[in-house]
Amino acid sequence: MHDVCALGELLIDFTPAGHSSAGREIFERNPGGAPANVLAAVTRLGGTAAFIGKVGKDRFGDYLKSVLEENRIASDGLVFSKDVNTTLAFVHLSEAGDRSFSFYRKPGADITLLPEEVNLEAIDRAKIFHFGSLSMTDEPSRSATIKALDYAKERGRLISFDPNWRPALWKSSGEARENMLLGLRYADILKVSEDELSFLSGESDMLRGCAVIAKKGVKTVIVTLGPKGCFFSYEGGNGYVNTYDTKIVDTTGAGDAFLGGLLYRISNSGRKPEHISIEEMRDMMLFSNAVGAVCAAGFGAIPSMPEMQAVQECMSKVPLLLY
């Protein structure tokens, strides 16, 4: 039984890597895609995972399959397109390490996943099913995602959702919100940024926003706050948890690392979040903050996902960043 199965985008992140002798910016090829990043976080910590998605039958696609296998992520749900190339994203970093993206995805192989190509057995073998909204931007991957969600819900799987809002990939903000709200109908666990919480709930206040989401049936809401840590709200209570004062190099994948750490801990607890005490939930959030902080201290998403020892060292040696 796998801890987590995720469906969605697996792509190439081209990350800034300095300049050539002629002064031209150099980009480094890194594996990425939020659902795959989450799975890599899970397996680096010692958990097990499986991926469902589509890449091009090209050098990038072959490379990404090897990355899944190197990270001990089951790849039997990975499909290759003969007609469409692997999706690419160029990452742009600010001086503070914050990132923005330029996508080459019109189309990209990830959005061509067909409903009949979804490996349902991978969902059967997992405790948690995770998805994002980027597989819902276009057909046929939107229908493939909904098929997987219906199947996971029918079989009582715990469902995790990260909207991962990328405005450039949607036709309009209205279409984005409509599809993200559809995702909420299935979700037990929601991980969002402050902007995403406001976008989905219509509320700028954290508590009111989480209450709106809870009324839609989502039992656990986590809001990641960057250097301020995170805020969580569930049936057992709510609260803020600080993160660790690591040097930020590249925030790409840090939120996915956080979520991977949380899903790893929830899976290993053997309980649904609503049955976890608030003290243990705080401890899980602190652990997840450490996973995200260590990831942000390195370049790239999957390459920077930390192993358990690095997370434990962070928690024991690095002071909390207090606000």
Does the structure show a pLDDT above 80 at 100? no
Domain boundaries 2-9+34-86+107-317, CATH class: alpha beta
Which H or E run includes 320? strand 320-321
Secondary structure (H, E, C), 64-91:
HHHHHHHCCEEEEEEEEECCCCCCEEEE
- Per-residue tokens: 280: 């243990």
Q: What is the identity of the amino acid at 275?
A: H
What is the structure's pLDDT at 291?
98
Q: How many Å apart are CA 277 and CA 184, to the nearest integer?
A: 24
What is the structure's pLDDT at 2?
98
Closest by CA to 84, choosing from 143, 142, 36, 141, is 141
Supply the pTM of this predicted model: 0.95
State the pLDDT confidence band at 11, using cuts at 50, 70 and 90: very high
Q: Mean pLDDT, to the nearest integer, of 68-77?
A: 98
What is the structure's pLDDT at 95?
67
Residues 138-193: tens digit of each pLDDT? 999 999 999 999 999 999 999 999 999 999 899 999 999 999 999 999 999 999 99
Q: How many Å apart are CA 51 and CA 263, to the nearest integer?
A: 15
Q: How many Å apart are CA 220 and CA 171, to the nearest integer?
A: 29
Q: Mean pLDDT, to the nearest integer, of 214-223?
A: 97
Q: Residues 6 or more apart from 161 whose CB is under 8 A from it?
A: 130, 131, 132, 133, 183, 184, 186, 187, 189, 190, 191, 218
What is the structure's pLDDT at 201?
97
Place of tokens 């903050």: 289
Measured from the Cβ of residue 269, the count of other Cβ atoms closer than 10 Å reads 14
State the pLDDT confidence band at 8, using cuts at 50, 70 and 90: very high
For the chain, domain boundaries: 2-9+34-86+107-317
What is the structure's pLDDT at 322?
86
Residues 240-276: tens digit of each pLDDT? 999 999 999 888 899 999 999 999 999 999 999 999 9
What is the structure's pLDDT at 99?
65
Place of tokens 């098929």: 147
Q: Compute the half-sphere exposure of residue 148: CA atoms within 13 Å on the CB side of its CA.
A: 39
Exposed / middle / buried, residue 280 (Cβ in 10 Å: 0-12, 13-18, 19+): middle
Closest by CA to 85, choosing from 116, 63, 117, is 63
Give the β-pairing of 11-19 and 88-93: parallel
What is the structure's pLDDT at 96?
67
Which H or E run includes 102? strand 99-104
- Asked whether the bond before 303 is cis by omega within 30 degrees of 0, the reply is no
Q: Residues 6 or more apart from 173 whose CB is under 8 A from it?
A: 167, 199
> What residues does 128 pair with on adjacent strands?
4, 158
Place of tokens 């600080």: 242
Residue 1 DSSP SS3:
coil
Does the structure show a pLDDT above 80 at 94? no
Place of tokens 């508590």: 207
Q: Compute the half-sphere exposure of residue 239: CA atoms within 13 Å on the CB side of its CA.
A: 14
Place of tokens 């923005």: 100
Average pLDDT over the chain, rounded to whole? 95
Place of tokens 């469409």: 84
What is the structure's pLDDT at 97?
59
Q: Mean pLDDT, to the nearest integer, of 206-230?
A: 96
State the pLDDT confidence band at 23, using cuts at 50, 70 and 90: confident
